[in-house]
Chains A and B, each alone.
Chain A
Amino acid sequence: MIQIKDLEKFYKTEEVQTIALNKLSFDVKEGEFVAIMGPSGCGKSTLLNILGLLDDPDGGSFMFNGTEVAGYNERKRSELRKHNIGFVFQSFNLIDELTVFENVELPLIYTGVKPAERKQQVEAVLEKMQIMHRRNHFPQQLSGGQQQRVAVARAVVNNPKLILADEPTGNLDSTNGNEVMDLLIDLNEAGTTIIMVTHSEHDAKYSHRIIRMLDGQKVTENILA
């Protein structure tokens, strides 16, 4: 599903240039659950942003479903993103002014799904995430675990082929964290490809493969299942 080859990304400030990704290459197959680990500043999040088409690489190749997407403009990237990719963030990133239902509904609005169908889909996913009873609440009225479940619901409501999770349990206690991981496992078992950045060895063990990074490069790769 994903092939990256010699991927490079630099950050420039006024005086220094930092290499965030240094000729990074790996593949991810459809249906895989890959964990990416490494110390802070090793380039994990940069990688995730590029894989999520939120950011552009400065060099190398990025094939998504057999198509080179590295040079895509913003419009094309957002088109590809909204139909194929769901995001789960460490800090949930829900829109405070929208209710649970409206937050989850948002991706469907952008993909042009009709209101009746939207309602059905949103309710189905809220049901699945066991958060239906909170549908009319605003994010501030929910616990961290509940918020992350809403975020996951939002990420999957469009049935994306790929979910990118950036430390999804980072802001959660262990019980809530485990619940979120179980949700991800369920999605993966249902066929969704997942790439997860994490600091937690515990969470990483849920994946099929762990890629460890340092200074923008892959250092090891462990296959768990």
Chain B
Amino acid sequence: MLKNYFKIAFRNLIKNKVYSFINILGLAVGMAATIMIGLWVTDELNFNNHFESKEAIAQVFQSQTINNTIGTDPAIPRPLEFALRQDHKDNFKHIVMSSWEQPRYLKFGETNIYRTGNAMQEGATDMLDLDIISGVKDGLKEKNSIMLSESAAKSLFGNETALGKIVKVNNEDDLIVSSVYKDIPTNNSFSDMEYIIPWKHYVTTQPWLELSKDAWGNNSFQLFVQINENTTMDVVTSKISDVKKNASSETAQFNPQLFLLPMKDWHLRSEFENGVQSGGRIENVWLFGVIGLFILLLACINFVNLSTARSEKRATEVGIRKSIGSQRSQLIFQFLSESFLIVFLSFIVALGLVLLFLNGFNNLASKAIVFPWENLQFWLISLTFVIITAFLAGSYPAIYLSSFNPVAVLKGTFKSGRYSSLPRKILVVAQFTVSIALIIGTLVVMNQIQFSKDRPVGYDKEGLIQIPVMSNEFIGKKDIMRNQFIASGGALEMAGTSAPMTNVWSNRSGYTWDGKPADFQEDLAYTSVSYEFVETLGLKVTAGRGFSREFASDSNAVLLNETAVKYMGLINPIGKFIRDSDTENVDPPLKIVGVVEDMIIQSPYSPVKQAMYVFDSDDNTAFYNVRLNPEKSTSENLALIEGVFKKNFPNTPFDYQFVDEEYGAKFESEERVASLARVFTALAIFISCLGLFGLASFVAEQRTKEIGVRKVLGASISQLWLLLSKDFITLVFIALLIASPLAYYIMGQWLQKFSYRTTVSWDVFAIACFGALIITLITVSFQAIKAATSNPVKSLRTE
């Protein structure tokens, strides 16, 4: 029986090549998009799945209340480690303090590489289940050791043994390679970690690190833990939540609440809003999951529409089969098996499309997804997917086709009823509603990105580079380097800063100033900067002046941004003093010498944070910001600057970043969403148009005789074209009416997450409306004009 069904299905496929092509192509494109989205979603959901103890690993986060707003982040103070080890160690298998991931120079002989890694405590190797290729399992035990990833070891030592060799780190410390571990696979939080240095070594490298031992207020570290088997994250959280609050009266005013964020949440649910977990990338997972489902539905709608539109062709067969004893259930089964066949063929084509476009998709989505050939689960899910799609696409046509009355069909009096095309029309409207909503959505996302890109950043980021200078060899060289850079002709100006201009590395509180309201808990972005900070960045000074070598007192001066002035409630701030409440009696106060325009350092979507730029009297320079000479080409400037750099630091690779590129990276995540949205919107439109094309050709075929008669009676081609096109245009117009308010609402909600946001403006709807109508016209006109220009004698003779 089944063989008979497949046979007839296959012959029908061959016989109606155009419809088969439209059906299979539409479904294949839809399925390919859904498979790719499925692979992407799986990849996202499997983030950090590599770690064997993933269920038990967590990071300690803290929420603090500042001026009634709860801020949450993973930065914790160092004494927390000692408190946990002393009072709560029974809860943990591992307590691992860690630095932030940081690039360092690793040098062996003449080979000098720049790699990212962490400083971590001994439990890390076991907790992260590092696969040791050579050396000791716990390579962090000895203070002067370093663990290297396989690829870092290969870059440094080639095929030679790495073990026991001495690596010079940041041109300062000699560390002995204690072990080499297999590269940590991609798709997890530690995949960039190419070396690990012992924590006990790290904390002795800088004076401030030594001091951090007792500083509950210095939230500069990370703490990872693995909890014991006999407990849960919630239980441990409840035990440790008040540890910091109870330990330090100084920080208790911020009500610090500690909690464990399980490893499974790090990637997808790491955002917090006023102390409550509010999502994160999981929203994109949902978004694209829904888009994938919609695209598949659009493709299924094509199948439904084309099958039911062509039902009259299959009616006779249904009548005959019924008259010779087929039951309705058998017919339903027959039509379902047909849809299964088509869906299966489409699936094979879809797999081909996925293989063809997976690389491009990986680039677009910044992923390294590999096609899971050997994953049995993937194939089982695919089979289920094929069956579900076959049901989704085939159920309605099967029920509809099998319902025909054999008497009417065989008598030849069968005609589809007046309303039989209504479900098809509804489905076309549904298809275009989705497509138009996607067009509007994509346009709004693009507008929002452009809007934020057009936002004045407050400084001139073009022609500005930053050179990282974090190791000790650079200390005290700032002015020499500035002079030489300028003298080389490659630079106009240079300023040192303690953080890059595209990020805040330090937030401070504990200041007093005249007129500070009682109980005001300030939170200020803190960056120490050198002379010429204003000149180098091209900042606009709105009051007072920038730092100047002419004023010796500027060694205790500070610049505020405009937001800080408002935030602190300062009126006429120039000349006023800000005191550090801890060292009030030791350090001289900071004198406000100038106010600068707000510059966007953090998110371009958020308001600019109140910031203080303190004159760097201790040489805490982490970056040289160099204003390139506009008279010369970028490559010339870079060559000159590199020359100066190499002359002074011959053993250090010259590394630099363009500040405008670093700033541009802030849009990466949204731009990725926008590019993916563009691709999937294009696919949705393509699939919808494919269906429309099929329906248009069906209608043209069905109305051949009518068109012939009308032509004989004198209808012009344009009149006929209008006749055949207007129904479809009406449907798309209805879709526009439904999609517009829907998209307006959804995108309005989406924009809410940005403080600095565009509005959903009328031109977005105009473009979507115009675009949808034009695409529809092009799609249906082909068939309409073909029918309208055909010879009427021919079509009438066929009757």
Q: Which residues of A contact B (CB under 8 A)?
A: 45, 49, 52, 54-55, 74-75, 78-79, 81-83, 86-87, 89, 91, 93-98, 102, 105-107, 109-111, 154
Does the CB pair B324–A97 fall under 8 Å?
A: no
Closest residue of chain A to B313 (Cβ to Cβ) is: A96
- A residues in contact with B410, CB < 8 Å: 54, 89, 91, 93
Does the CB pair A154–B324 fall under 8 Å?
A: yes
- B residues in contact with A49, CB < 8 Å: 407
Q: A-B pairs with CB below 8 Å: how many?
A: 72
The verdict on A78 contacting B8 (CB below 8 Å), with A91-B412, A93-B319 known, is no
Does the CB pair B407–A78 fall under 8 Å?
A: no
Does the CB pair B325–A97 fall under 8 Å?
A: no
Partner of B317, one of A74, A79, A83, A95: A95
Closest residue of chain B to A110 (Cβ to Cβ) is: B325
The verdict on A106 contacting B323 (CB below 8 Å), with A49-B407, A89-B410, A97-B15 known, is no
Does the CB pair B322–A107 fall under 8 Å?
A: no
8 CB-based A-B contacts, threshold 8 Å:
A45-B411, A81-B325, A94-B320, A95-B321, A97-B11, A97-B15, A97-B317, A105-B4
Does the CB pair B407–A54 fall under 8 Å?
A: yes
Expressed in whole angstroms, the Cα–Cα distance for A52 and B406 within the complex equals 11
Partner of A54, one of B12, B322, B330: B322
Partner of B316, one of A86, A93, A110: A93
Does the CB pair B8–A55 fall under 8 Å?
A: no
Expressed in whole angstroms, the Cα–Cα distance for A89 and B323 within the complex equals 11
B:321-361 near A, CB below 8 Å: 321-328, 330
A136 to B: closest C-beta gap in Å: 13
- A residues in contact with B12, CB < 8 Å: 97
Partner of B326, one of A78, A83, A91, A154: A78
The verdict on A82 contacting B7 (CB below 8 Å), with A49-B407, A54-B407 known, is no
Q: Which residues of B contact A (CB under 8 A)?
A: 1, 4, 7-8, 11-12, 15, 316-317, 319-328, 330, 406-407, 410-412
B561 to A: closest C-beta gap in Å: 77
Closest residue of chain A to B324 (Cβ to Cβ) is: A107
Partner of A87, one of B15, B324, B330, B411: B324
* Chain A to chain B: the 3 pairs with minimum beta-carbon distance, closest first: A82-B325, A97-B11, A110-B325
The verdict on A106 contacting B7 (CB below 8 Å), with A49-B407, A89-B410, A93-B410 known, is no
A78-B327, A81-B325, A93-B316 given; name 18 further pairs at CB < 8 Å.
A54-B406, A54-B407, A74-B327, A75-B327, A82-B326, A86-B324, A87-B323, A91-B410, A93-B319, A93-B410, A95-B317, A97-B12, A98-B8, A98-B11, A106-B4, A107-B324, A109-B4, A154-B324
Expressed in whole angstroms, the Cα–Cα distance for A183 and B280 within the complex equals 78
- A residues in contact with B411, CB < 8 Å: 45
Expressed in whole angstroms, the Cα–Cα distance for A93 and B8 within the complex equals 16
- A residues in contact with B4, CB < 8 Å: 102, 105-106, 109
B401 to A: closest C-beta gap in Å: 14
Closest residue of chain A to B328 (Cβ to Cβ) is: A74
B605 to A: closest C-beta gap in Å: 60
- A residues in contact with B412, CB < 8 Å: 91
B324 to A: closest C-beta gap in Å: 5
The verdict on A55 contacting B324 (CB below 8 Å), with A95-B8, A109-B1, A110-B330 known, is no
Expressed in whole angstroms, the Cα–Cα distance for A106 and B320 within the complex equals 10
B405 to A: closest C-beta gap in Å: 8
Expressed in whole angstroms, the Cα–Cα distance for A106 and B1 within the complex equals 9
Closest residue of chain B to A111 (Cβ to Cβ) is: B325
B36 to A: closest C-beta gap in Å: 35
Expressed in whole angstroms, the Cα–Cα distance for A111 and B322 within the complex equals 13
- B residues in contact with A45, CB < 8 Å: 411
- A residues in contact with B323, CB < 8 Å: 52, 54, 81, 87, 93
A73 to B: closest C-beta gap in Å: 11
Closest residue of chain B to A138 (Cβ to Cβ) is: B11
Does the CB pair B317–A110 fall under 8 Å?
A: no
Does the CB pair B8–A82 fall under 8 Å?
A: no
Partner of B407, one of A55, A74, A79, A106: A55
